[in-house]
Amino acid sequence: MDNKILIGGLIVAIIIAILAPFLASSNPDGLESTAEKIINEDALHKNLQALGLEEEGTVAPSPMPDYSIEGMGKVGEVIAMIVGTLIMLALAYGVAIVLKKPSSN
C-alpha cells in the first residue's frame, strides 16, 4: 500500500512538472511585481554608492535560473521542472529515512 501511494505521488508530481511551464503566467509573481513597483533602481544605486557599497549578486549561481535551461525554450523549462521535482522528492525521502523511528518488532 505504501509503495502505491509513493508511486502515485511521484506520478502526480511529474505530471504537474510537465504541465507547469505551459500553465504558468508570463506576468511576474506578486513579490516580483511589488518589488518592481516600489524599488527605484537609480535611487538604490545612488544610496549604495553613498554608503560605499555595491549591489551584491547571488550568493551562489543557480544551475537553472528562472526554472529553465538556457536556449531550450519550453522543453528546457519542462526538463528543469522535472529535475527540480525529482531532487526535492529525493531530499524529502532522504530526510524521512533519517528521521524514521525504528520499528519495534
Total domains in the fold of the chain: 1
Q: Considering the domain boundaries, does residue 50 fall inside one?
A: yes
Q: Considering the domain boundaries, does residue 104 fall inside one?
A: no
Q: Considering the domain boundaries, does residue 25 fall inside one?
A: yes
pLDDT category at 25 given cuts 50, 70, 90 is: confident
- 85-to-48, 67, 72, 80, 103 alpha-carbon distances in Å: 37, 11, 19, 8, 29
What is the predicted pLDDT for the residue at 91?
Answer: 93
User: Residue holding cell 506576468?
Assistant: 27
Q: State yes or no: pLDDT of 95 exceeds 90.
A: yes
Q: Considering the domain boundaries, does residue 37 fall inside one?
A: yes
* pTM recorded for the entire structure: 0.62
Q: State yes or no: pLDDT of 22 exceeds 80.
A: yes
Q: State yes or no: pLDDT of 86 exceeds 70.
A: yes
pLDDT tens, residue by residue, 70-82: 888 889 889 998 9
Please choose, from the candidates 73, 70, 62, 74, the residue with its C-alpha nearest in 3D space to the C-alpha of residue 17. 74
Domain that holds residue 7: 3-99
What is the predicted pLDDT for the residue at 37?
Answer: 73
Q: Considering the domain boundaries, does residue 28 fall inside one?
A: yes
Q: Considering the domain boundaries, does residue 105 fall inside one?
A: no
Q: Considering the domain boundaries, does residue 63 fall inside one?
A: yes
Q: Considering the domain boundaries, does residue 71 fall inside one?
A: yes
